[in-house]
Amino acid sequence: MATSDVTQPGTPAPPIIEIRDLHKSFGEHKVLDGITLSVPAGSTLVILGGSGSGKTVLMKHMIGLLKPDSGQVIVDGEDIVPMGPLELEKLRRKFGMVFQAAALFDSMTVYENVSFPLREHRKDIPEEQMRELVKEKLSIVGLKNVEQKYPSDLSGGMRKRVGLARAIVLDPKIVLYDEPTTGLDPITTDYVDEMILDAKKQLGVTSVVISHDIASAFKVADNIAFLYQGVIVDQGHPSKLRHSQHPGVKVFLQTWFGKN
């Protein structure tokens, strides 16, 4: 066993995203105050924190949409902080993004929506093959025969699944979800949680899920990181976070576990 890329059972996978001592202020307002995080390849990390705690700001640093005041963001072995626009565009192909609102184009069919990134980035792919790829991605998210439907014909949960199919159509290594269950009813929330778990199982992707939904977080996470007052105050396996001694985490979790 001389090769270094042989992963031993029980050995954590190497990180695909590493954030080191990240700081970001907007004017006088300090939002990130020294974030250090590591996401093992193939795992699901949930970043949990209250509204306005800086979760979206942190996520934007992972794809270079924001530049930090200081610190490093290492994706797939490369520090992305010094990257210019062309390098960033290449980097972003490693990511699929699923936003809070499914953000589908209402005037386009499901087929046109899901194939959109292929038309933008893979003009070399013939239409026939595109149809196959779209069908394959829709089947991964559990949808069949919906290509000719419009978003308004679909339920909220199905629209989320179409959003994920579009996010994975270029075969990203990492999928980022920003508040995927916020504002959804409990049944649709369950459906979206299952979708995140399925995507991990079927694609082996690394997922980063930003959430303030505690129930969802504990369902989908391999690891949870808790963002509070600009720092990750606790992180680890959900069972560890459940018994966190940090006062900020305790109060936050009580709002859910206190009632259940």
Ligand X SMILES: Nc1ncnc2c1ncn2[C@@H]1O[C@H](COP(=O)(O)OP(=O)(O)O)[C@@H](O)[C@H]1O
Interface contacts to ligand X, rule CB under 6 A? 26, 31, 49, 51-57
Question: Minimum distance from CB of 207 to ligand X (Å)?
Answer: 17
C-beta separation of 94 from 174 below 8 A:
yes
Cβ proximity to ligand X: between 31 and 203 the closer is: 31
The residue count for the chain: 260
- Which of Mg ion, ligand X, none does residue 223 bind to, with CB < 5 to 8 Å depending on kind? none
For ligand X, give the closer residue by CB, 27 or 186: 27
Q: How far apart are CA 235 and CA 220, in angstroms?
A: 15
Q: How far is the CB of 70 from ligand X (least distance, A)?
A: 17
Coil, helix or strand for 125?
A: coil
**Residue 115 binds which of ligand X, Mg ion, none (CB < 5-8 A, kind-dependent):** none
Which one of ligand X, Mg ion, none is in contact with 53 (Cβ closer than 5 to 8 A by kind)? Answer: ligand X
Check: CB of residue 246 under 8 Å from CB of residue 227.
no
Smallest separation (angstroms) from ligand X to the CB of 32: 9
Pick between residue 143 and residue 210 the one whose CB is nearest to ligand X: 210
Where in 136-215 does DSSP place strands (E)?
174-178, 206-211
Which partner in ligand X, Mg ion, none is near 105 (CB below 5 to 8 A by kind)?
none
* C-alpha triplet 89, 121, 194: angle, nearest 5°: 85
Q: Please, what is the minimum distance in Å from the beta carbon of residue 31 to ligand X?
A: 4
- Long-range contacts of range 142-147, CB-CB < 8 Å, 24 or more positions apart? 142/195, 142/198, 143/110, 146/110, 147/109, 147/110, 147/111, 147/114
CB of 93 to Mg ion, least distance (A): 23
